[in-house]
Amino acid sequence: MGEAKAIHAAELPLSGADVELLRLLAQGLPLDSVARRLVTSERTVRRRTRAICTRLGVAAPIQAVVWAAQRGLL
């Protein structure tokens, strides 16, 4: 039961850009650094992070990071 489960791209509720955002968050970077690396604003990073959490049905960004890590995306 505790094994990471591989999922196919068609089943993945995240885009490549979403996964990249989660990778940066997983590194512990502050939002301003994430925004600079993605060439966007902090507001956009916050908005996209909330949208990812909503799609995954989780309450916090760290839960989204764990979700992605458990599926081998990070």
User: What is the residue-level pLDDT of the chain in tens, covering all 74 positions?
Assistant: 444 455 554 467 899 999 999 999 999 999 999 999 999 999 999 999 999 999 999 999 999 999 999 999 99
Instruction: Calculate the alpha carbon distances from 30 to 2, 6, 24, 25 in Å.
Output: 30, 29, 9, 8
DSSP label of 71: T
| 14-70: CATH class | mainly alpha
User: Can you tell me the distance from the alpha carbon of 62 to that of 59, in angstroms, rounded to the nearest whole number?
Assistant: 9
Domain ranges (residues) in the chain: 14-70
